[in-house]
């Protein structure tokens, strides 16, 4: 009975995180916004941990179940001994309609799905960045306040960054004309923080691994939240150099490039400084006391999931390494 309860508990934890996680993230957002780099990294890790916990159901089902014969007798005997050696459970097995060894392919299937998502994500990003780089051929390079940038012949006011090899920092002619020198310095510091902290790579990895799991509410909530926290992290880096008032003024003036605003793939390929909604965070909006407790609860929940994964997968991996 204990074995079945543990399997049910793992499923319950996964379902609770999948459907309750978005609410928890919304309520904890004010506290998370005070530590945006940590929040972005932790949330990305949470999504990956949830997927890993889902895949851990395979070994659990294999350990607690007894299914019909599927392999030749000698191979079935070897698999039974290996499963018995790896399982952390000690009670009798539960009869099911599928071969007990079959769920062991679930982790392999999950890795395949994640790899396919990564391949798709990087292929699309490569195509999008190639198109954006082609657009940059109409721009000219210049050194602005000590930063090497590409300036596009566009009178609207925008700024964004691509990975350095794809173009780096991009400014519009309108931004250079509209922003004061101090505001321009704040925008450049913001975009430089994206490049220095490798935010583009984090978004690409998160988007790829979670692509085929994005229908799960928790995964989609994380995919939506991480770019927001990365922008806040870049804001904080710029604020330390130029001050709050200057950065807030720049954010209020900036918009989004028309060539990016209508293209979902382009929006995921670039990180841009526009964001008047973040001004409230810059000026120190009050943080509800409960949000800190909920942020701690979210972190504790992630640790609990990670503990479950390690507990399940460690004996499984040890059995594989031992040759079973």
pTM greater than 0.85 (yes/no)? no
Q: Coil, strand, or helix at residue 285?
A: coil
Torsions phi, psi of 299, nearest 5?
Answer: -65, -40
- Cα separation, 121 vs 166, whole angstroms: 16
Length of the chain: 324
pLDDT in tens, 197-226: 999 899 999 999 999 999 999 999 999 999
pLDDT in tens, 87-105: 555 555 544 445 556 666 7
Contact 272, 256 (CB under 8 A): yes
pLDDT in tens, 222-268: 999 999 999 999 998 998 888 888 888 888 888 765 555 445 555 55
pLDDT in tens, 120-149: 988 888 887 777 776 666 677 888 888 888
- Cα separation, 236 vs 213, whole angstroms: 31
């Amino acid at each position: 009975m204990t074995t079945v309860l543990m399997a049910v508990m793992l499923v319950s934890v996964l379902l609770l995180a999948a459907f309750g996680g978005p609410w928890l993230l919304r309520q904890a957002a004010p506290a998370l916004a005070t530590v945006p780099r940590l929040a972005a990294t932790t949330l990305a890790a949470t999504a990956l941990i949830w997927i890993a916990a889902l895949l851990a159901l395979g070994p659990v089902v294999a350990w607690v179940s007894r299914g019909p014969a599927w392999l030749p007798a000698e191979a079935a005997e070897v698999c039974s001994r290996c499963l018995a050696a790896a399982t952390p459970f000690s009670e009798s097995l539960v009869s099911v309609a599928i071969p007990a060894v079959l769920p062991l392919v679930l982790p392999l299937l999950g890795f395949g799905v994640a790899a396919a998502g990564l391949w798709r994500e990087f292929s699309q990003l490569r195509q999008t960045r190639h198109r954006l780089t082609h657009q940059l051929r109409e721009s000219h390079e210049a050194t602005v306040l000590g930063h090497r940038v590409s300036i596009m012949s566009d009178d609207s006011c925008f700024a964004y960054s691509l990975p350095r090899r794809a173009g780096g920092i991009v400014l519009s002619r309108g931004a250079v004309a509209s922003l004061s020198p101090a505001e321009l310095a704040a925008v450049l510091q913001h975009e430089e923080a994206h490049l220095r902290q490798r935010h583009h790579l984090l978004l690409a990895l998160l988007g790829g691994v979670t692509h085929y799991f994005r229908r799960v509410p928790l995964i989609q909530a994380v995919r939506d939240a991480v770019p927001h926290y990365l922008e806040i992290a870049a804001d904080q880096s710029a604020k330390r150099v130029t001050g709050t008032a200057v950065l807030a003024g720049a954010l209020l003036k900036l918009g989004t490039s028309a060539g990016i605003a209508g293209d979902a793939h382009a929006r995921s390929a670039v990180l841009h400084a526009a964001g008047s909604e973040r001004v409230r965070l810059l000026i120190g909006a009050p943080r509800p006391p409960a949000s800190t407790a909920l942020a701690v609860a979210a972190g504790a929940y992630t640790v609990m999931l990670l503990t479950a994964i390690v507990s399940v997968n460690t004996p499984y991996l040890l059995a594989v390494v031992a040759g079973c």
